[in-house]
Structure 1
Amino acid sequence: MSNLDNIYANPHHKVKDFVFDETVVDVFSDMIQRSVPGYQTIISTIGHLAQEFAQDNSTIYDLGCSLGAATLAMRRSIKNTNCKIVSVDNSQAMVERCLTQLNHFKSDVETQVICEDALQVEIEKASVVVLNFTLQFIPPEQRAELINKIYAGLQPGGILILSEKIRFDANQIQNTLDELHLDFKRAHGYSELEISQKRTAIENVMRTDTLETHYQRFEQAGFTNFSQWYQCFNFTSMMAIK
């Protein structure tokens, strides 16, 4: 049972930039369920896609694994021979909690959890790579480098699954979807104070791209086969197949 996210329930004299520290780790499961529409659908579908695209004698990467939800979904689903999962997060608190979560479930799939920057990880013999709400926290000028590296490390027939919050150039569309997302958070019990302070905390840390920008990166990396498979409000998940 996850702890209730009340980090921003009381007024903060100064709202600091959002970080994935021990305080966030303690409430992360509750936070993500109440903040990202369709999160559980995305996680379960990542498991299904991994089952379809995982290859024998390959590696599956979960970059920005947080508490390991996508890792667990994939580990339950894949049946391949000599297939291992490498789960990566740059937050030591997340990595430690992820290991605890994974240890609650037995599996024959070799799984390695490491504390590292996604940009520093070698991508080799990959059949599945997951970036589940990770790229948006990487500096924009380094995002193409990571997508290029993933493409180079994917085996033919391999898949990149990329989930992101996106923005829209059309102001009316952007404002409408923003308001729908705020209503989603209100419906899940967040107060106006919590919504406001969380937005202040995260605005310098999470910088969103348009769907077109993501597609351009795919093309520049070498992908020719890619599409959205999910969208709710301003949250989407995409697949790109090599």
Structure 2
Amino acid sequence: MNGDFSFDTVQQFDDHIDLSIPTYSNLREAILRLSTSFVKTDSTVYDLGCSTGLLLSLLANQVPGSVRLVGIDVSINLLQQSSDLRIERHRMDLASERFRLTPTDLVFSIFTLQFLPVIARQSVVDKVYEALEPGGAFIVAEKTFIDDGLIQDLFTFGYYDMKLKNFTAEEVLDKQLALRRIMRPQTEPENLKLFTRFARIFPFWQYLHFKAWLCIK
């Protein structure tokens, strides 16, 4: 990884994420296993902040060919890193008023809300809720802040120790400086407040301060 990290220039993004987020492959596997319980033969599935579309590509191997798979991302660089013809790919800012969803049974938002303006996140989640069919699911993963300073430090430096197995100290610092300008994680209670309209909300994966929830309408 050379220079400042940027979604608009990073290459081999999927490999980079696998090395950057602890046990990311386990999270992806859990998402795929949960997804098959919500996808019907005529379902539409959205991935908000789909990056290269890998998650949808893997899901396509497990669901009927009639399922519509739609990936949305703001980075043309990431969208162009996949040529999977099974996936509709749309470039759009989720925080814009133009963002809309058609009726859907399943929506992913995997480490995406944290890159949106805080003031826009509730609107995005509300649009997801309103588009979901009854019994549909919103699967969300976010990096969180911990309310306890000691635990936050323990988790942060434990995470840095993990990253230093794959990146140099300079690369780790450069990325943190770059993300400081574009990423705004919130605490778990602040994230959960976004999902209060859902009938069921349950955490299904966590590593340090990275966490995922299953939200069912």
User: What TM-score, normalized to structure 1?
Assistant: 0.84
C-alpha contact (below 8 Å) 2:142/2:212 kept by paired residues: yes
* Structure 1 equivalent of residue 46 of structure 2: 61
Q: Runs of 4 or more off by more than 4 Å in structure 1?
A: none
* Structure 1 equivalent of residue 156 of structure 2: 178
Q: What secondary structure is seen at the aligned counterpart in 1 of 2:80?
A: helix
* Structure 2 equivalent of residue 154 of structure 1: 132
**Percent identity over the alignment?**
28
What number of residue pairs does the alignment pair up? 215
Q: What's the CA shift for 1:121?
A: 3.0
Name which of 110, 115, 119 aligns with 1:137.
Answer: 115
* Structure 2 equivalent of residue 86 of structure 1: 70
Q: What's the CA shift for 1:52?
A: 1.1
More strand by proportion, 1 or 2?
2
What letter is aligned with 2:78? M
Give CA deviations for 1:145-188 in whole Å, capped at 9, x if unaligned.
00011000000110001011111110001000001100110122
Quote the RMSD (CA, aligned, Å). Answer: 1.5
Is the deviation greater in 82-91 or in 111-120?
Answer: 111-120
Q: What secondary structure is seen at the aligned counterpart in 1 of 2:18?
A: helix
Q: What's the CA shift for 1:62?
A: 0.6
Tell me the distance in 2 between the aligned counterparts of 1:43 and 1:68: 12
Residue segments in structure 1 that go unaligned for 5+ positions in a row: 1-5, 9-14, 104-109
Name which of 198, 201, 213 aligns with 1:223.
Answer: 198
C-alpha contact (below 8 Å) 2:205/2:211 kept by paired residues: yes
Tell me the distance in 2 between the aligned counterparts of 1:168 and 1:55: 37
Residue segments in structure 2 that go unaligned for 5+ positions in a row: none
Q: What's the CA shift for 1:224?
A: 2.3
Tell me the distance in 2 between the aligned counterparts of 1:175 and 1:39: 21
C-alpha contact (below 8 Å) 1:47/1:76 kept by paired residues: no
What letter is aligned with 1:62? D
Name which of 33, 41, 47 aligns with 2:26.
Answer: 41
User: What TM-score, normalized to structure 2?
Assistant: 0.93
More helix by proportion, 1 or 2?
1
C-alpha contact (below 8 Å) 1:48/1:77 kept by paired residues: no
Tell me the distance in 1 between the aligned counterparts of 2:164 and 2:50: 27
Q: What secondary structure is seen at the aligned counterpart in 1 of 2:26?
A: helix
Tell me the distance in 2 between the aligned counterparts of 1:82 and 1:72: 14
Name which of 114, 118, 121 aligns with 2:90.
Answer: 114
1:235 and 2:213 matched: no
C-alpha contact (below 8 Å) 2:57/2:87 kept by paired residues: no
C-alpha contact (below 8 Å) 2:53/2:87 kept by paired residues: no
